[in-house]
A and B are shown apart, each in its own frame.
Chain A
Amino acid sequence: MLVELFFVFFIIGAVSFGGGYAMIPVIEAEAEGRGWLTTSEFTNVIAVAGMSPGPIATNSATVVGYHVAGIAGAVVSATAMTLPSFLTIFIIASVYNKFSQHSLIKAAFYGLRPAVASLIIYAAIKFAASNGIFTWNISAEAALTVFLFLLSLAALMYFRLHPALVLILSGIAGVFLFY
């Protein structure tokens, strides 16, 4: 199991371009495909990862690793996720600052950025669907869920609240609204 965790997160670590959020659907596809987690458990993983300091992709890997194989799983997953960057940095250290100016690298990023955008939008649609944001169900709980979503989005976009703070506040709201 630890070997499988290492292998999966090593590969994900090697393709983590463009900020951690793009890795959410990648981690989800692997973790659910292998039967490690269900979709609703995965949402909890993202909640825990998002409330912690540090990169969300590495944090998610840590939580998934913990869920699958305890503390050893968490250590293996976080290490596997960082190892590809570590190795790449040593290869690149020899070419140093010409690397990011190379036209091939720039061209690859020209295509990678919209790919990453599509991944994040996909994750957003999937999460919205599995968490009752798109719903015809007219109940108090469904309405509150949509309301909390809009409120959180406004807090992030217009009031520039810190993501972790938004999660904590909505958790508190959850206790009052849904308990």
Chain B
Amino acid sequence: MSLLKEIAAELFSMFMADARLSGSILALVLAVAVLNLGLGVNPMFGGALLSLGCLGILAEATARETGKRRGS
């Protein structure tokens, strides 16, 4: 039973190690899906938003962690 718990925890941490990073990525993908599939915006705009959004999320996540570690 504890092995199953460890496997579940490992799988969870594979994708959700930083909850805010994961949440931001999911929100970004959802926004691009709404733009591309729902509103029919030029798909290239969605592609550019997805690429740049990921870079922004990465920059925010690393800066936030650095600030947190410096503060502690």
Q: Do A and B bind each other?
A: no
